[in-house]
Amino acid sequence: MNMALDETDRQLLKLIQTSLPISPEPYREVGEALGISEAEVIARLRLLVENGIIRRLGGVFDSRKLGYSGALCAMEVAGERIDEVAAVVNSFAGVTHNYLREGPINMWFTVLAPSEKKLAETLKEIRERTGIQEIMTFPAGKIYKIRVNFDLD
């Protein structure tokens, strides 16, 4: 669907990508900042999601500061099994990304777990459920976060 953004939509998107309030009523506070009601903020956000303008609305946390362990993982998956294996990998709550790349090592995913032990258990279960024993793991040595704010003017 194509959706024309009005100025209020643009201001709403600019505001929520940089400073969504952490409060019991964040949408009321956003509405106050924009001069619209909480109900209108929610209705506009719903339309932006339904029209694919917003893919995800949520917090980004520093998993290391919360004690989590993570790794980038890669494996070779036969073409006819990609959907099946992706469904297994994606069924784990700690999997944050899963994507395909060209080449024999073609399925790459990131996984977070509350401990190194839980991370190892998750990977063991993925091996068992997919039958793919060779999962390369690249533990995160340094975290790079790139803040992307879209200029909507």
Q: Among 134, 121, 102, 116, which Cα is nearest to 71's?
A: 116
Low-confidence ranges of the chain (pLDDT < 50): none
Cα–Cα distances in Å, from 44 out to 1, 22, 23, 29? Answer: 15, 19, 20, 15
pTM above 0.85, yes or no: no
pLDDT value of residue 35: 97
pLDDT value of residue 137: 94
Residue that the structure tokens 């609305």 belong to: 57
pLDDT value of residue 139: 77
What CATH architecture is 69-139?
A: 2-Layer Sandwich (3.30)
| Domain boundaries along the sequence of the chain | 7-50, 69-139
**∠ Cα 71 138 78 (to 5°):** 95
Strand order in the sheet with 107-113: 95-100, 107-113, 69-75, 136-139
- The token duo for 55 is 């893919």
**∠ Cα 9 149 61 (to 5°):** 110
pLDDT value of residue 149: 60
